[in-house]
Amino acid sequence: MRHFGIILLAFSFIFLSCEGDPGPPGRDGRDGLNGLDGVNILGTVFETSPIDFTVENEFWSVFAFPNNFEVYDTDAILVYLLEGVIDDGLGGQADIWTPLPQTYFLDEGTLLYSFNHTYFDVAIFLDGNYDLSLTPDGFTQDQIFRIVVVPADPYSSMNLDTSNFHGVLNALGQTEHDIIRVSDQ
């Protein structure tokens, strides 16, 4: 048995010291997207149906996550307001998504769109330094939001520009087709 150990040790040194011919260089692969190697972010994006902010709902709207969707306390929640639509220069249109909180300076005073969240819902609300019932309808009626849930582990290790909705969507590996559109809340 002792000879077997010595032979095994000798073969180990032989195999560890062999370098061999590395062979011809291979072809370069295609460039991929820049990002963190080995990171798979499973974020989710929800789009609300149009929301009206009124005196009756105290200028609040609550979006409840579907029961089959789990949000962890440590997840990052981002909310974007559909601020408008512009011509994309290619014969189509492009949405303008603005991150919340967002402040507007109106003739009536200062208006703020903001939000807070739990692991089961997101509350979106208006605040201002004037009587909100005086807010023009363009700021209170038919407002559409996108709510993005980003898992905490990848989010904390990324250099994610949350001011750019489409950049966030790309970082999540999502497209417009992946967005979950939710009807009346």
More confident residue, 117 or 13: 117
Across the chain, what does the average pLDDT equal?
81
pLDDT at 103: 97
pLDDT at 16: 52
Q: What single letter denotes the amino acid at residue 110?
A: T
Q: Is residue 110 in a domain?
A: yes
Q: Is residue 9 in a domain?
A: no
Sole residue written with tokens 């029961």: 67
Q: Is residue 47 in a domain?
A: yes
Count the domains in the chain.
1
Residue-range definition of the domain harbouring residue 107 = 41-181
Cβ 95 vs Cβ 22: under 8 Å: no
Q: Is residue 172 in a domain?
A: yes
In the chain, beta strands by DSSP E: 44-47, 60-64, 76-87, 93-99, 102-105, 110-117, 121-128, 145-150, 180-181
Number of neighbours of residue 145 by Cβ within 10 angstroms? 22
Q: Is residue 24 in a domain?
A: no
Q: Which of 63-67, 69-73, 166-170 has the lowest mean pLDDT?
A: 166-170
Q: Is the pTM of this model over 0.75?
A: no
Beta strands 180-181 and 76-87 are unpaired
